[in-house]
Amino acid sequence: MTKILVTGALGQIGTELAGELAARYGKSAVLISDVRKPASGDGGFEFASLDVTNAEAISQVLKEHGITDIFHMAAILSASGEKNPALAYRVNSDGTFNILEEARKAGINRVVIPSTIGVFGAETPRNHTPDITVLRPTTMYGITKVNAELLALYYRDKYGLDVRGLRFPGIISYLTPPSAGTTDYAVDIFYHAVQGKDYLCYLKKDTALPMMYMPDALHSLIQLFEASREKLRHCLEYNVSAYSFTPEEIYHAIRETYPEFRIAYEPDFRQKIAETWPASLDSHFAREDWGFKPMYDLKKTVDDMILNLRKILVHH
Ligand code: SER
């Protein structure tokens, strides 16, 4: 019987991932966990309070619930990581080490760990960035995620643990807001437009970053989870993205629906982070090895975001 633990299940991706996994494997096959308590109920999911910096607690949850597979989504993102680097180190590096070590001891089948464009740095080629390239990030988030990628490889090669992952770009979604990353503007801008507010953007108007819509992010996680192991040439180093845009480009795309919408730019510390990240990614390994194929282009993303945010923000 499959029983999947999702860590960080109250975060931007975790929340929606739990629903997707339940739709596929049944609700009783999913155990959601987070360091926070669910504010608005657990959505009918079994919930375990879990701090991934506590190895003993992980071990207990794995045993108690007969966990077979793990999606390790708990992380401190780039912007909050710069506000509290020590916490980012503990959650992202110690937390990932604990997950891998307890998974190995418990004989877990598959461990899925998302990585990020945050692993790249100023010396990485900025356009069509390949999977295997220079990794010299300058954020604590990036440093801990490079560490996670290398640890995953180590556990795979030394112990035969089945660890898989991909490097997400900025993820656009409307259900749960992102928890303080550098790419959050691409979500915030929609909330402002739909609520008839002007937007003050913390990145410069011509800063291009790779992005992707949530349904494609979820689909790719599950595709990777279900892929046959022999086909996977990489561990966590699969770059994925659907498109790239600048703040100015997304602004103009939104203005097609909201011609009155206005934007101003006031770059802060996140601009410096964004400048060390790729403008676009080469995703061919993900396409070839496990069939990565995003369905949402920028126009479909914008239309769907506006449609859903209107339902949530305007009609209630
Ligand atoms: N969305 C993340 C961040 O901005 C990138 O992985 O930190």
Assess whether pLDDT exceeds 70 at residue 316: no
141 is known as an active-site residue: yes
User: Which of these, 172, 171, 167, 125, lies nearest to 146 by C-alpha position?
Assistant: 167
User: Mean of the pLDDT values across residues 73-82?
Assistant: 97
- Phi then psi for residue 68, to 5 deg, are -105, -30
81 — pLDDT class (breaks 50, 70, 90):
very high
205 with 99, same domain: the answer is no
Assess whether pLDDT exceeds 70 at residue 284: yes
Structure confidence at residue 252 (pLDDT): 98
9 with 151, same domain: the answer is yes
**3-state DSSP helix/strand/coil % of the chain, to nearest 5:** 45, 15, 40
User: Mean of the pLDDT values across residues 256-267?
Assistant: 98
DSSP summary character for residue 137 = -
198 with 122, same domain: the answer is no
* CATH number of domain containing 80: 3.40.50.720
Q: Tell me the C-alpha distance between 280 and 301, whole Å.
A: 18
223 with 207, same domain: the answer is no
For residue 183, the CA-to-ligand 1 centroid distance in Å is 6
Q: Which of 35-49, 108-122, 268-282 has the lowest mean pLDDT?
A: 35-49
Structure confidence at residue 41 (pLDDT): 72
Contact 91, 75 (CB under 8 A): yes
20 — pLDDT class (breaks 50, 70, 90):
very high
Structure confidence at residue 143 (pLDDT): 98
Asked if residue 248 is part of any domain, the answer here is yes
User: Mean of the pLDDT values across residues 81-106?
Assistant: 98
Contact 51, 36 (CB under 8 A): no
156 with 271, same domain: the answer is no
- Residue minimizing CA distance to atom 3 of ligand 1: 181
Q: Which domain holds residue 105?
A: 4-169+212-239
220 with 198, same domain: the answer is no
* Residues within a 6 A CB radius of ligand 1: 77-78, 116-118, 141, 168, 170, 181-183
123 with 190, same domain: the answer is no
User: Which of these, 121, 145, 158, lies nearest to 237 by C-alpha position?
Assistant: 145
